[in-house]
Amino acid sequence: MAAVLPYNDENIELAASSVRAGAVVAFATETVYGLGADTFNESAIGAIYQLKDRPTRNPLIAHVIDLATAKRVAEGWSRRSMKLVSACWPGPLTLILPRHRAVPPAAAGGLDTIAVRSPGHPLARSLLYAVGGPLSAPSANRSGGVSPTTAQHVASDYREHTDLMVLDGGPCNLGIESTVVDLCESRPVVRRLGVVTIERLTELLGPVEVETPTEQSASPGSAMRHYAPRLPAALATHDELSAMLATGTPAAVLMFSESDIDPRHTRLDMPGDGDGYAARLYETLRRADASGCERIVIELPPQHHGVWGAIIDRLRRATSV
């Protein structure tokens, strides 16, 4: 199984040395755990794609410690991009900008643009500082699967890779991936919903567009089916829930209503607040996969504003067929 190491100065330096030598390491961020490698090392970038079994056209996010490092990987820093950096970095906001010519195309899925963010988690920031440069890092799950929010999730996903170093920063406090905003268009385009909400972006930038998920996009994590459990999963409104559970095989049910369900099903209660739900979502989907049931049923949240928009986005992708 992959080696899980506690977060301390010695292990940060060990991981940084490994990155500088061309290795891939897994590490905590405030959103989900990532698989990171030197952005400028094309061979190491290739190893990330191979580990994840990720299509090479799917771009990665370059993680940076500060704006100066961000300017080593991206160009076109406009007034609106600087406004977002000032308001939201470090934090769960990724910007898409023109790729700097020094960055190998492989680090951006072959595109002329690149996704970049500055994470807020102290472990991620310590690692970036120790490395002394950007780390390209997608979520540390197998491609298309449920993202990991603990070091143990990563170790389980890569149990055969005993040489993979996993830096344990505890459970991720946000629990879903960053918001991705493309600033290469005349109007900002949200390529992926996240914790930085549409409402917040509108306050900062004015009107923004929201992209419909597609199989090919300038954004990481934009496929129509993504963040998906192994078991077949379906969404149901509160009114549909009883009928969906009245027939069929035993189900693991993610729900937050007070309704009783047949005891042959496994009930997995979810928080009623958006931040709490987001933080628990991926862990609970993994529990559902391990429940021994034959399917997953997810009660659709009745709210769509704020972070609930990103949650529903993840639920729809996880249940897409």
128/42 same-domain check:
yes
Is 57 in the same domain as 171?
yes
Running DSSP on this structure, what letter comes out for residue 144?
T
Residues 157 and 252 in one domain: no
56 in a domain, yes or no?
A: yes
Q: What is the pTM of this model?
A: 0.95
Residues in CB range of 70: below 8 A, 6 or more apart: 62, 64, 85, 116, 118, 134
| Low-confidence winner among 18-32, 206-220, 243-257 (lowest mean pLDDT) | 206-220
Q: Is residue 266 one of the residues assigned to a domain?
A: yes
pLDDT digits (tens, 9 = 90+) for 280-301: 999 999 999 999 999 999 999 9
pLDDT of residue 222: 57
Domain boundary among 210, 245, 264: 210
User: Is residue 34 pLDDT above 80, yes or no?
Assistant: yes
Q: Which two tokens stand for residue 301?
A: 């949240």
Task: Take residue 233 and report the two structure tokens written for it.
Answer: 């999963």
Mean pLDDT, to the nearest integer, of 96-120? 97
Of the residues 148, 176, 210, which one is the last residue of a structural domain?
210
Query: Same domain for 62 and 163?
Result: yes
Are residues 190 and 239 both part of a single domain? no
In degrees, rounded to 5, the angle at the alpha carbon of residue 144 between the alpha carbons of residues 142 and 147 is: 65
In a domain, 185, yes or no: yes
Structural domain total, the chain: 2
**Does residue 303 surpass a pLDDT of 80?**
yes
Do 176 and 279 share a domain, yes or no? no
| Residues 183 and 290 occupy one common structural domain | no
Q: What is the pLDDT of residue 320?
A: 86
Q: Which domain holds residue 37?
A: 3-210
Which stretch of DSSP H or E encloses residue 297? Answer: strand 295-299
Per-residue pLDDT, 247: 84
Write the CATH number for 239. Answer: 3.40.50.11030
Confidence band of 260 (pLDDT split at 50, 70, 90): confident
Domain assignment present for 273:
yes
